[in-house]
Amino acid sequence: MVQVVAALIRKGNTFMICQRPAHKARGLLWEFPGGKIEPGETGPEALIRECREELGVTISVGDVFYEVDHVYPDITIHLTLYNAAVAEGTPQLLEHNDLRYISPSEIDGYDFCPADVDILKEIQKRF
């Protein structure tokens, strides 16, 4: 089981999603910014590092929004989505193919990674 963290970064009634690079597993699917926890890191520390590497921003990490386990053909993950906010910088496309802020009503217009399906339902329920 691989521990993965992601950020729910909200701006008004919208939240940030990122499109995976075409050459990676689940290429061109949409996801929340984040990545794998490395040995010795806490979830929030990994999320801060990943957002710096992928988006060139410093984030502040809040409480856990949702957790889910998902089995892909190539990997089994435990995904923890944290409430987060951009504290410094403007998001840049350092790794992703695209980045957008969407409203909960726009979720169905995007193809997300399967692990995010339950999270997206929860966002639609809460917001």
Phi-psi region of 118 (alpha: psi -120 to 50; beta: other; left: phi over 0): alpha
**Interatomic CA distance for residues 108 and 37, integer angstroms:** 29
In the structure encoding, which two tokens stand for residue 16, read together? 């940030």
Q: What is the pLDDT of residue 119?
A: 97
Query: pLDDT confidence of 23, banded at 50, 70, 90?
Result: very high
Q: Give, in degrees to the nearest 5, the angle at Cα 17 between 87 and 116.
A: 120
Are 110 and 17 in contact by the 8 Å Cβ rule? The answer is yes
- Average pLDDT, rounded, for the chain: 97
Q: Can you list the domains of the chain with their CATH numbers?
A: 2-126 (3.90.79.10)
Query: pLDDT confidence of 123, banded at 50, 70, 90?
Result: very high
**Interatomic CA distance for residues 30 and 44, integer angstroms:** 21
Q: Is 126 helix (H, G, I), strand (E, B) or coil?
A: helix
Query: pLDDT confidence of 122, banded at 50, 70, 90?
Result: very high
Q: What is the pLDDT of residue 30?
A: 98
Are 34 and 44 in contact by the 8 Å Cβ rule? The answer is no
Q: Which residues pair with 2 in a beta bridge?
A: 77
